Amino acid sequence: MKYIYFLITLFFIALIVSIINPNEPFTCFLEIIPAIIGFLILAFTFKKFRFTNFTYTLILVHCIILFIGGHYTYAQVPLFDYFKEIFHQSRNNYDKVGHFAQGLVPAMIIRELFIRKNVISNKSFFNFIIVSICLAISAAYEWIEWFVSIASGDSGDAFLGTQGYIWDTQSDMLFATIGAIVGLILFSKIQDKQIQKINL
């Protein structure tokens, strides 16, 4: 439990820092609200289903990515403005980090749920289904961005964050898909070891 409390402490520190004088308060709210909702869901379900520490760590990393994007807006994260200049990019690409995580972290969450709840008996389609779900989540998030942008007008432009790139929506979903695949390739064995410890 000490490690969980440590992660919770980091979560709230990052959250508080992110809401101190953000570049665009409305965008900050939109970007950090998924992390807050996720935290509440995990808190209320903790006694019924506790994820491995590894999965909780990944979730925290994703939340911090959201907090940074909320504080600066994804198009204005200073480090990626620096990368933009150094590598002669046409835009600030921090949003691609966010969408990569949007694929990777849910993939590991879904994977742990599927394994521990024995959701899929036929393992042949296991990874394909996980990646497909992550792509569906990414597409749904793009719908939300689209709806918010239409509903809020100019104030939602920073949330949409296309930066004039006409293929932004498609590339966001691509990065989420890549993130899910990379997560399954790199982290499955680590997650399996932690799941085995729970089952001992």
The pTM assigned to this predicted structure is 0.91
Contact 35, 66 (CB under 8 A): yes
Query: Given a cut of 70, is residue 161 above it in pLDDT?
Result: no
Task: For 44, list phi and psi in degrees, rounded to 5.
Answer: -75, -25
Query: Higher-confidence residue: 144 or 127?
Result: 127
* Degrees, nearest 5: CA angle 151-164-64: 70
Query: Given a cut of 90, is residue 178 above it in pLDDT?
Result: yes
Cα separation, 79 vs 68, whole angstroms: 11
Residue 20's Cα: distance from chain center in Å? 21
| pLDDT interval class at 150 (50, 70, 90) | confident
**What's residue 159's pLDDT?**
54
Residue 143 has a CB neighbour count (10 Å cut-off) of 10
Number of domains in the chain: 1
**Whole-number mean pLDDT of the chain?**
90
pLDDT tens digits, one per residue of 40-94 = 999 999 999 999 999 999 999 999 999 999 999 988 899 998 888 898 888 888 9
In the block, tokens 């990646």 appear at 131
Task: Tell me which residue range forms the domain holding 163.
Answer: 2-199
Query: Given a cut of 80, is residue 155 above it in pLDDT?
Result: no
Q: Give the mean model confidence (pLDDT) for residues 89-115.
A: 94
Q: Which two tokens stand for residue 134?
A: 């992550």
Cα separation, 103 vs 179, whole angstroms: 5
Nearest Cα residue to 105 out of 30, 180, 53: 180
- Torsion from C-alpha of 92, 173, 107, 101, nearest 10 degrees: 10
